[in-house]
Structures are given as C-alpha cells and as structure tokens.
Amino acid sequence: MKLIDKALRELKLSLLIVNLVSIFVDSLIILLICVLLSMIIGFHWVYSVVPFIGFLVYRLLKFYQAHLLRKVETKVPQLKEILRTAADNSKSEYEIVKMLHEDVVMGMKNVKTSYFVNFSDLFLRLVVLCSVAFLIVVVGVINIQFQGVGNLIGNIDLPFLNDDEKEQIDIEDAELKNVEGDINIYGEASLAELSDDKFNVEMSPIESDININDVSDAEKKDFFPPAFPREIYTRYDGSFNERLPKDNQRIIKRYFKSITS
C-alpha cells in the first residue's frame, strides 16, 4: 500500500473515532432528556428510546454524507484543496501526482487529532449529560409528575404491558363501575335536593331490630396484594371492616334506600 493511502486511512480512522464519540455523547444527552420528560409526564421510559434511535440514525447519516477531508482542510490551511486532490488521485502513477502525494504526506505530519476535538464543547456536553442524569435522580426521588398531561392524553394503550397486567386493570375498572344501583360515584344527585322541612327521627331502643351490644369498633383488615387503581400511588394501605351483623347491615341499607327513593 502506498504511503499516501496509509496516511489517508489513518487520518480517516482518527476522524471516525472522534466523530463517533461526539455522536454517541449527543445521542446519550437526547436519551436522558427524553427519559426525564417521560418521567415527568408519566410515560413509560421505553418510549424515550425512539427519539434516541432517530437522532442517532440522523447523525450517522449526516456523518456518512459529510466531506471529512474538507473539514480537515479547514483546520489545516496548508492542506487546503491538495488533500482532496491527493485522495481522489491516490491511484494515479503520474510523476506530478506523486510529487503532490509527497507534499500531502509532509503536511499531514503536522495534523494532530486535537485539531478536531473541541474540548470546551465536549466539556459542556459532559456537564449537560451529568446535569440531566442528576435531574432524573431528583425527579425520581421527589416524584415530580404532571398528572394533568397524562390525563389529557387519556387512557393510552400501553403495548409494553403483559396480558395479566391488562386483565387486572380491566377487573379493577369493572369493580369501580359495579356499584349496586348507582352509576354516579358521588351518589344520587337527588340527595342534594333536601327541603327546608324539619326532619325528626326517633329511634326506640326497645322496638329497634338493632342490638347495640353487637356493634363494636371496626376492625382493621389488610388486603394483600393491594387492589387499588393504577392511577393512585400510595405507600400504605389498610381498610376497616364494620363488625355489624349481616342482618343489621341489610336493615341499614334498606332504610337509606327507602328515604332516598
């Protein structure tokens, strides 16, 4: 292999490494920013990979189409135009071309890799990278989320969930909706329409069907695994079950139904 070919190959390899590192760092920044945004908005982090891949492909394509040697010439003025000419005529055996190759090889000895690395720019990118990573940790710890955005977008069909998780959500949705005779979870609207009449209620302990001795404090019941909607985030749950006998429960239900109907 001719000396000019070796020199050009070495130069192109160095430029390739420098540019790939730069592209990777930029893509990583984009990925982290997208992860941060997805955490804040409430999307699954896997969606952040899409813009990352898109950006990576775009930058790689741009790099492939770029004239590397032209960039070298802008950094090293003594090689202006002759580097490209020598590269395009590397196979030529003419004496004048050989003389040109010699000049280019001499000029390339003055080319340093540091010419193509903008250290201040690289430092800035690393600072941005670290800052975004830190922000991700902070957002995760403090749990900052803009729920409104997720709600505005609505129930998005998340393709990454498995079938069991989807079924559990469907069951919970059904339970929420399955209130006996009552569609509106806020209760009957007619209850708000009370009149101004006085309502006297007298309860006779003798004639009542309720035995007060059977009523005690509600006992705490723990549910495991926890069954609450996915939208609600909680670190602790517990529930309290009334210790009313079943018959008394029925009486109370019937009573309230009769006064509201």
Partner 1 sequence: MVTLKEVSDRFDVLFEELGKVVVGQNEPLKEVFAAILCNSNALLESYPGLAKTLSIKTLASVMDLSFSRIQSTPDLLPSDITGTFIIQESGRGKEFKFQKGPVFANVVLVDEINRATPKTQSALLEAMQEKQVTVGNNTYKLDEPFFVLATQNPIEQEGTYPLPEAQADRFLLKIKLDYPTFDEEMEIVNRYAENNKIPALRKVFNKGSIEYLQELVKQMPIANDLKHYAVKVVTDTRKKKDLIEYGASPRASIGLILASKANALINGRKYVSKQDIDKMAFPILRHRIILNFEAERNNLDEDEVIKRLLK
Q: Which residues bind partner 1 (CB under 8 A)?
A: 67, 81-82, 84-89, 92, 94-97, 99-100, 103
CA atoms within 13 A on the CB side of 160: 5
Minimal distance in Å, beta carbon 25 to partner 1?
A: 30
SS3 257: helix
Q: 14 or 85, CB closer to partner 1?
A: 85
Q: Tokens 């209620």 map to which residue?
A: 201
3-41 and 68-75 helices, crossing angle to 10°: 100
CA atoms within 13 A on the CB side of 139: 19
Q: 56 or 97, CB closer to partner 1?
A: 97
Minimal distance in Å, beta carbon 99 to partner 1?
A: 6
Q: 79 or 132, CB closer to partner 1?
A: 79
CA distances from residue 105 to 38, 79, 239 in whole angstroms, order as listed: 51, 10, 82
Of the candidates 15, 241, 225, which has an alpha carbon nearest to the alpha carbon of residue 115?
15
Minimal distance in Å, beta carbon 2 to partner 1?
A: 14
Minimal distance in Å, beta carbon 65 to partner 1?
A: 13
SS3 109: coil
Minimal distance in Å, beta carbon 123 to partner 1?
A: 34
Q: 39 or 79, CB closer to partner 1?
A: 79
Minimal distance in Å, beta carbon 50 to partner 1?
A: 36
CA distance 205 to 213: 12
Q: Tokens 């830190």 map to which residue?
A: 134
Q: 96 or 152, CB closer to partner 1?
A: 96
Q: What is the CA 169 to chain-centroid distance, rounded?
A: 21
Minimal distance in Å, beta carbon 6 to partner 1?
A: 19
Say if residues 18 and 79 touch (Cβ distance below 8 Å): no
Q: 96 or 141, CB closer to partner 1?
A: 96
Q: 67 or 246, CB closer to partner 1?
A: 67
> What single DSSP character describes residue 207?
T
